[in-house]
Chain A
Amino acid sequence: MSNTWLFYMSFAAVLLFIGLYCLLTMRNLIKLVIGVVIGAKGFGLALVATGLDKKNIILAQALAITFVVVEVCVVAMALALIINIYRKTGSLDVRRLTKLKG
């Protein structure tokens, strides 16, 4: 374990914390997607930092590129869902989505 690795992983943990906090507390649907993106930044940083420490940065980059593609697909899909929810309910509030409530 090198100090550089610890340094990058600490920042990745902070980013993940911010993303999780956003997911847990916010009520605006677009804010929730912003939280997902911030958390994903932390994951990407952790991947590349581990590759840098283990002298395997090219493999880490290949994995991180896959991760970025998946992230973009998730965000595009989520935003399309949000636009449809907005058309149905006229609001972006996550508390309005109670149609399935028993």
Chain B
Amino acid sequence: MIKQHYQSIIIQTICSLLIPFIQLFALYVIFHGHYGPGGGFQGGVLLAVSIILQRLYLGHKISYQKFPPRLAMALAATGLLIYGLAGIIPMLSGASFLDYGSLPLFWVHDAERRALGILIVETGIGLGVFGTLVLIFDNLVGERW
């Protein structure tokens, strides 16, 4: 069981300084997946780590108000929905499932549309992994929501 609240000023300062940078790096990992190592899975794990660090040093009472576990569940479902819609919307215009070249993004040409489709899908994966990992942590800790 996690302690309710760490009274150490060192832990509180370091954690509150680290969390924004972890989240920024997570966004970098998600959106830089086109050009280097990274992608939705890794970036989603980093986002989840930032929330879990907040849970660890703030305790569940304050942390559940800042980021409720139900929001984590909603984000996980939203990420999966984004991926599914990116697959189904091309089918409406007659293309095959997950054919990003037929996404309705009219201001770019075909190959660039595929790059944007990959980005949309990676964002969905990131949200899904983020929500799922926070959800698993909240349930393993065993506090009531």
The reply to whether chain A is a binding partner of chain B is no
- Which residues of B come within 8 Å of A, CB atoms? none
